[in-house]
Amino acid sequence: DKHWLIRQAKTPMTNSSIELLDDAFRKRLEVRGELENTYIIFTSDNGYHTGQFSLPLDKRQLSPPQVSSLSPWIRGSSLSPPGQFSLPLDKRQLSPPQGGSVNSSTWRTDFLVEYEGEGSDVADPACPLLGPGVSECFPDCVCEDSFNNTYACVRTVSPFTNLQYCEFDDNEVFVEVYNMTADPYQLSNLAKTIDQEVLEKMNHRLMMLQSCSGPSCRTPGVYDTRYNFDPRLMFSNRSHRSNRLRRGLK
């Protein structure tokens, strides 16, 4: 129930990924005689990128949240094991929770998240079976991005709702919906099982946020029960070239 770019990842990844990191850092420091003069911090992204879930790199994907609740390990010559300390680790929240102003009394409940996927017009010679339109392809022909990894999301957080709704610009017209309260790690896509009215309202919010400006972005607008759910409308104004490349992908 994930976008095709996520589905094609090799899971689980092999131990060679650990060996690659070990060769790149620890052994290089050891050869240079700097290992005992260097602090090495080993942390984790819960396996989402370089672990068992094998998600593509960077922040090119809409899920899962880039937050880790796992404790880091620190190696250094002056540290006495087993030392412990408490320090919260989190990613920065890029969207201000208030409506664009620190003096505003209106708190936003909906945030727009957009990404335009990157790709090449020609096929990657290392992964010819995948065809053109992909980028950042590595061994095993697992590609990190593609033209049709273009998406738009609305993140809704209120006392009554905690949802993430996303639409992809691809042939599947792929939609992902997550209940962030019950499923904070976005493991179960509810797009095919959630109530149709919820889909319509989230689609409506997304369309409104893409066309609003200024203070009007603080609210998702008034929902009309006659509104028709159609995720294809989100990217209907994209150029002919972009649409042609999108259709050429999975």
For residue 167, the surrounding DSSP H or E stretch is: strand 162-168
Asked if 72 and 26 touch (Cβ cutoff 8 Å), the reply is no
For residue 144, the surrounding DSSP H or E stretch is: strand 142-146
Q: What is the pLDDT of residue 42?
A: 72
Residue 81 neighbours by CB under 8 Å, 6+ apart: none
Which residues are paired to 155 by β-bridges?
A: 111, 164
Q: What is the pLDDT of residue 125?
A: 76
The answer to whether residue 248 scores a pLDDT higher than 80 is no
Q: What is the pTM of this model?
A: 0.58
Instruction: Name the band, by pLDDT with cuts 50, 70 and 90, for residue 102.
Output: very low
182-175-106-158 Cα dihedral, nearest 10 degrees: -10
- Joined together, the tokens standing for residue 247 give 């259709």
Distance CA 203, CA 207 (A): 6
Distance CA 120, CA 247 (A): 14
Cα-based distances in Å from 65 to 14, 35, 41, 62, 139: 24, 33, 21, 8, 26
Distance CA 121, CA 135 (A): 10
Which residue's entry shows tokens 């992809």?
Answer: 168
Specify whether the backbone of 47 is left (phi greater than 0), alpha (psi in -120 to 50) or beta. left
**In the chain, what are the domain boundaries?**
4-75, 110-247
Which residue's entry shows tokens 């209940």?
Answer: 179
- Joined together, the tokens standing for residue 160 give 């009554």
Distance CA 155, CA 235 (A): 18
Q: List Cβ<8 Å contacts ≥24 apart for 135-139.
A: 136/56, 136/57
Higher pLDDT, 215 or 112: 112
Taking residue 202's Cβ as centre, other Cβ atoms within 10 Å add up to: 27
Distance CA 199, CA 189 (A): 12
Which residue's entry shows tokens 């959630």?
Answer: 194
The answer to whether residue 189 scores a pLDDT higher than 70 is yes
Q: What is the pLDDT of residues 33-63, one digit of tens each?
A: 998 888 887 765 555 555 545 555 556 666 5
Q: What is the pLDDT of residue 61?
A: 65
The answer to whether residue 92 scores a pLDDT higher than 50 is no
Higher pLDDT, 164 or 107: 164
